[in-house]
Structure 1
Amino acid sequence: MLTTDLQYSIDNHPLHFADIGNGEAIIFLHGLFANSQIWQAQCQELSKHYRCITIDLWGHGNSTTFNENCQSLVDVADHIDQLVSSLKIDQYHLIGHGCGATIAAEIALKYPVKTKSLTLLNGFIGYEPQVNCAKYQLWLDEINQTQKINHQLATTISQLMVAKGSNHQHIIEGFAKQLSGYSDTQAVAISQFAHQAIYKRDTFELVEQLTLPTMVIVGVENQLRTVLESYLMSDEIDGACLHHISNAGHLTMIEQPEALNTLLSQFLGSVK
């Protein structure tokens, strides 16, 4: 477990994080409905050589509130930079998962001098497809109406997090238990954050500015992101390398930790 629970206050809202290891800094950003705990296997391995910072985004994990001054994922990117700057870290590698990949791209675009490398895991930096927006909006409407994530919705979300047809029932059950255990205030907070994550801007318009070392990774059996999207990103980002991980869904870092750790170690080690 990532037991180092630290916090940094922004507009009187605590943003929680863990800070483990020494060396060049890596900033880990989880995806929607997840939290910093999903990076346990990666931090256990990479903290031997790197300083690993894992952050609970607004409404997720131990960051139980939503900053009302946060208007978009660009603002979230600024919040992450404020937190990292408070730790006296001048440069860092970014590893983003899901919507965390979009936030990582926003950070790289706004703070290119600080960003040493960018890893986009099971994310998509373009507009969210309309069919996805419609599905996710139904989830948000239900959360806002009931002010909770009931067991049925938590299970529905959790089942989509792993590879279709996988035998990772313990991952599904653990993820669902976490979501359904959120308080009414945190359920509303995560819904507020989710709205910004779903209705994000299209950073493909600025993709030519991403000239830093970049790696795109996707789980082949991902139910929330497509392999096609990974090709689109790797084709548009100059010099980006692309990797597909078999027998993995959205939570690749939990489903196939060794395969992901190998790719991350090799990529980070290649960045000069």
Structure 2
Amino acid sequence: MPFVTLDGQPFHYLDQGQGPVVLLGSSYLWDHTMWAPQIEALSRHYRVIALDLWGHGQSGRLPEGMTSLDDLARQALALMDHLEVDCFSLVGLSVGGMWGARLALMAPKRLEALVLMDTYVGVEPEPTRQYYFSLFDTIQASGSIPEPLLDIVVPIFFRPGIDPQSPLYQQFRATLAALPAERLRDSIVPLGRIIFGRDDILPRLPELNARRTLVMCGDQDKPRPPSEALEMAELIGCPHLLIPEAGHISNLENPEFVTRALLEFLRN
């Protein structure tokens, strides 16, 4: 699995398949393996590049001096430069969409298509921001995600009706429980503060290419509800698709629907 040094730290990514390039941006607290069903299908027709966020998967710690999601967009562009990829499509879920929209605004001529999934590029509503920051304070102090906090954090990512004993749910819970203190304090918590303390780029969404953009959202997404997806799609003037029977990690809760929609959109 390849690495590139960005801002002094090792940045890990998957690079699989051949053809036009599709860059996948993952959710906070998940690594590139969350895209496994889509990577398998897309890499038959495309060259798929999927990133591990700082402190996630096999990527190194958050680089010194990172303050904004613009830094993530710039780093993703630096990876594309390193790989000598000029033009590509971008599919970003959650924070992947937050920095993905910024990348599209930074380098519009390099984007062939943009899919924003279960994401929102406006500011975090103040009560939610304060709530998440209080969770970060608890994690920072304890150097772990304690059991009671896991009971709060894990369900956020899934539709309300999911079986808590399902492998998807249990595997994610176990991954969070196993995160070492150093990684939480050096990368996960400060990156979370950057994500949930982000600035508002909603006013810039009309600058995006509406014909080449698609907004998708799980119909039962709690942290990024469908109303936010609709708001963004209307500002862009692009199509808007609800993913049935899915929460925040919609690509894993309804992988067949998402994969089919992505293949159709990228083909067109």
Give the TM-score normalised by structure 2: 0.96
Aligned counterpart for 2:195 among listed residues 197, 220, 240: 197
Structure 2: runs of 5+ lacking an equivalent: none
Aligned counterpart for 2:102 among listed residues 99, 103, 106: 106
Does residue 146 of structure 1 match 2:146?
Answer: no
Q: Is the 8 A contact 2:222 2:248 kept in 1?
A: yes
After TM superposition, give the deviation of residue 132 of structure 1 in Å.
1.6
Moved more, 159-168 or 245-254: 159-168
Matches within 5 A, 1:1-272: 5-167=1-163, 169-188=166-185, 189-212=187-210, 213-238=212-237, 240-270=238-268
* Aligned AA (2:112): K
* Aligned AA (1:162): F
State the alpha-carbon separation in 1 of the partners of residues 152 and 12 from structure 2: 27
Moved more, 188-197 or 6-15: 6-15
Q: Is the 8 A contact 2:18 2:47 kept in 1?
A: yes
Q: Write out per-residue CA displacement over residues 120-142 of structure 1, whole angstroms, 9 at most, x where no aligned residue.
A: 11001111111221221121111
After TM superposition, give the deviation of residue 150 of structure 1 in Å.
2.5
SS class of match (1:70): coil
SS class of match (2:240): strand
After TM superposition, give the deviation of residue 67 of structure 1 in Å.
0.7
State the alpha-carbon separation in 2 of the partners of residues 71 and 196 from structure 1: 6
State the alpha-carbon separation in 1 of the partners of residues 176 and 57 from structure 2: 9
Quickly say closer, same or farther: Cα 1:152–1:172, change in 2 above 3 A.
farther
After TM superposition, give the deviation of residue 165 of structure 1 in Å.
1.7
State the alpha-carbon separation in 2 of the partners of residues 95 and 55 from structure 1: 11
Q: Is the 8 A contact 2:122 2:202 kept in 1?
A: yes
SS class of match (1:233): helix
Q: Is the 8 A contact 1:155 1:173 kept in 2?
A: no
SS class of match (1:123): coil
SS class of match (1:52): strand
Structure 1: runs of 5+ lacking an equivalent: none
State the alpha-carbon separation in 1 of the partners of residues 14 and 150 from structure 2: 25
